[in-house]
A and B are shown apart, each in its own frame.
Chain A
Amino acid sequence: MNTLKEASAFAIEQEFEYLPNENEIVIEHIFSNVFEHNIDKLKKASERHYVRFGRHRLRRSLVVACILILLMGMAMSVSAIRKPVLDFIVHYTNGMSKVEFITDEDSDAALKIEYQKPDTPNGYSISKETLNEFGCEIEYAGPSDKYIYYSQFDVETSGLSVDTENANATEKSINGCKVLETSKYETNTIAWSNGINGFSLLGNCDMEILEMMAESNQ
């Protein structure tokens, strides 16, 4: 190592010695709507160059993004027919963990997609509802700034990633379906498949409320 390199390396260590470690920064910054807006502009620029692109970001809460549903390129029509979904596997990482849905490629069964709307919890109301070729999304507003996002999506054309960094992640069963539950700070998520579609719920409410909504979906 030459002296200039050695001196530069030493200088860097000296210069940034005062910086806290990442885990010592207690207050996590809540990124603003302006930030989100800038990201949207970047998204449009990126779409010109890339076929695959995330179309769904949920980052209004303390948690930057708990669930990301990524469009894989094809659009799903409302009358689409799909192969059965057998299971899902979570590829756990220290950040966004990919959820891989396993479909039965050998099956002759062709399942027709039907959009499903979970029961609205007491005290909540639907603030936005979107049904399009990509799937179904519903936003619920509750008391004391509580919110819930529900999404139904096609597992063949969309990918799902869940934020498991420093989060409690458990797999359990609801209505006989395997579900993935994560809790991080005040945000809870549930992701599952009913054998045809993928579903996700995210909210800053109790997990029991999300579980009740998941149970109401057949």
Chain B
Amino acid sequence: MLIICLNLLDSEEEKTKFEELYYTYRNLMFFAANELLTDEWMAEDAVQEALIRIAKNFHKVGEIKCHQTKNFVVIIVKNVSLTMLRKEKALVGDSIIEQMELVDMDDTAFDLYNYKKLAKQILDLPETYRYVIYLRCVYEYKVDEIAGLLGLTTNVVKKRLQRGKAYLRKQIEDECE
């Protein structure tokens, strides 16, 4: 599998770096996938799919052995696993968030609030919204890159960002009142 993933990378430097990522995190990725899927076969599929997505969008991955990259690979493999789980169990979305208005919101709108309180609200978001926000705000991936990483259309990513932020804003305003 490594060979296949390596073919998705452009330079020798990227290949070496991807090898390092693969060997560092393959077991952790399997652990994270299996934790959700509780099925080793499905977990393998999730790891495989996640590695291919990471390889295709590898240019922004920095240092391999650090918390940021560790969390990044887990976000991707968990997202793949959740998508598989959703198909398997026909899970429905969160209706409250899905009814949120689609409004472009500047990130500075959150600067009024305490970051720890905001973090608590982020952690209460469903993973589908939370992971998109992580990838956009922390890893600074573009919308189309997030779409590639998560196997979504750019339109869905935009909507999740808009709705996720709108929901966060509402929740934190309610809490402050």
Contact = CB atoms under 8 A, between A and B. Distances in A.
Interface of A: 2-16, 19-20, 22, 25, 28-29, 31-32, 34-35, 38-39, 42-43, 46, 49-50, 52-54, 57, 64-65, 68, 70, 93-96, 165
**Which DSSP category, helix, strand, loop or mixed, fits chain B's interface?**
helix
A3 B74 contact: no
Nearest to A52: B7
B137 A16 contact: no
Nearest to A165: B23
Interface of B: 1-4, 7, 16, 19-20, 22-28, 30-32, 40-41, 44-45, 48, 52, 67, 70-71, 74-75, 107-108, 110-113, 115-116, 118-120, 122-123, 130, 133-134, 137-138, 165
B122 A8 contact: yes
A22 B4 contact: no
Contacts of B48: 35, 38-39, 42
Given A8-B137, A8-B138, A22-B25, A2 B110 contact: yes
Contacts, number: 132
13 contacts: A8-B119, A9-B137, A12-B71, A13-B71, A29-B30, A32-B41, A38-B44, A42-B1, A42-B48, A57-B3, A68-B3, A70-B3, A93-B19
Given A19-B28, A34-B44, 13 more contacts: A7-B122, A8-B122, A12-B75, A13-B71, A25-B27, A29-B30, A35-B48, A38-B44, A38-B45, A54-B3, A57-B3, A70-B3, A93-B16
B70 A10 contact: no
A6, A14, A34, A95 interface centre (most CB from chain B within 10 Å): A95
A16 B71 CA distance: 7
A7 B26 contact: no
Nearest to B113: A3
Q: Which 4 residue pairs are nearest across A and B when measured between Cβ atoms? A: A54-B3, A7-B118, A95-B19, A11-B119
A14 B123 contact: yes
Contacts of A20: 28, 31
Given A7-B119, A12-B134, A2 B107 contact: yes
A168 B90 CA distance: 48
